[in-house]
Amino acid sequence: MNFKKIIQETYQEVKSIDDNGKVASYIPELACINSEKFGIHISSINNDNFGIGDYKDQFSIQSIAKVLALSLAYHIVGEKIWERLGVEPSGTAFNSLVQLEANKGIPRNPFVNAGAIVISDILISNLKNPKEDFLAFVRSISNNSELNYSAEVAASEKKTGFLNIALCNFIKSFGNIKNDPSDVLDFYFDLCSLEMNCKELSEVFLFLANNGNSTIDNNSILTNSESKRINSLMLTCGFYDESGEFAFKVGLPGKSGVGGGIIAVLPDQYAIAVWSPKLNEKGNSFKGMKFLEEFTTKSDLSIF
C-alpha cells in the first residue's frame, strides 16, 4: 500500500519529537500507563492494512466510544434524537457545565460529556440490557468477540467523576435525563472504559469510511445519511475546543479520547487509529495530532 512508507517515515519522525504533553491523571487508573507508548494502525476498505509501534497494545478509548454510542442511539431513535442534543461545536472544554444553563439542559453536541450522558440515557431507555447490548453492538461491528470494558478504569472514574455526576444531575433538572442519574452514569463510565488496540479501533470504525456498511458482510450498520452526519459531527466537534485546529491541520473527521487515542476516517478509503498517552493542554494526544497532520499532508489525502 502507498501509505506504508509515509506511515513508517512519519512515525519515526514524530516519535523523536520532544513531547511536552501530560498523561491524564484525573481518572487515577489512566495515570498508570507507560507514557512513551506510541502506536498506529490503518485499515482500509480494500483490506490494505498496516500497523507500526505499539499498535497491538490495548488502551482506554474513553471519549472515542461516544461515537459508537451515538451511532447505536441514532440508528435506534432516528431524527428525533436531535430534539435532545445540539450539533454545534462547543468551544469549551469536554466537561464544561457553562453552556448547559443557557441551553436549558440541551448539550451542544453528542461528543461533549453532557451530550454523551444524554446518549447514555437514550440507550438505557431503549436497550434491554444496556451494558451487554452495547458491547454486543461494538463486537458485532468488527466481528471481534474479544473487545471488552475495563472494570478497573470504570471504577476509578466512578470514584472521581464528580463533574460528570454534576453534569448528569444538572441536565436531569431540565428534564433531559429520563432515567435514574446513577444508572445513567454507571453506563456512561462503562462506555468510556472500553479498551482496544489501534488495530481493533481502526477495524471497528471502518463502517464510517464505508457509508455506514460493514466491510465484513456489507450489512448496513447505519444509513448513508446517518453515516454522513456522524462523520460531519466528528469533523466539527470531535476534538473538544481544538476541533477547528484538527479540521484545519488534518482535514479528516475524527475523535479523540483522554486515554491518548485518536481515530480518523477518510470516507471511501480508510480508518486510522493513533495512540500516544501524553495529552496537550486541550486534552488531545500531542503526538497523535502531530502524526495525523504530517500523514495527511504527505499523503495528500484528506476530505478537502
State the residues that interact with ligand GLU by CB under 6 A: 62-63, 94-95, 113, 157, 164, 192, 257-258
Q: How far is the CB of 207 from ligand GLU (least distance, A)?
A: 21
DSSP 173-194: HTT---S-HHHHHHHHHHHHT-
Q: Which of 228, 233, 227, 230 is nearest to 246 (CA)?
A: 233
C-beta closer to ligand GLU: residue 54 or 157: 157
The helix/strand/coil state of 51 is strand
The helix/strand/coil state of 11 is helix
C-beta closer to ligand GLU: residue 100 or 192: 192
Tally of CB atoms within 10 A around 297:
15
C-beta closer to ligand GLU: residue 29 or 294: 29
Burial-class residue 224 by CB neighbours within 10 Å (0-12, 13-18, 19+).
exposed
Q: How far is the CB of 270 from ligand GLU (least distance, A)?
A: 23
Give me the residue label for grid cell 489501534.
198
Q: How far is the CB of 140 from ligand GLU (least distance, A)?
A: 23
Measured distance between the N- and C-terminal CA atoms of the chain, rounded to whole angstroms: 21
Q: How far is the CB of 66 from ligand GLU (least distance, A)?
A: 8
C-beta closer to ligand GLU: residue 44 or 284: 284
Q: How far is the CB of 174 from ligand GLU (least distance, A)?
A: 20
C-beta closer to ligand GLU: residue 113 or 211: 113
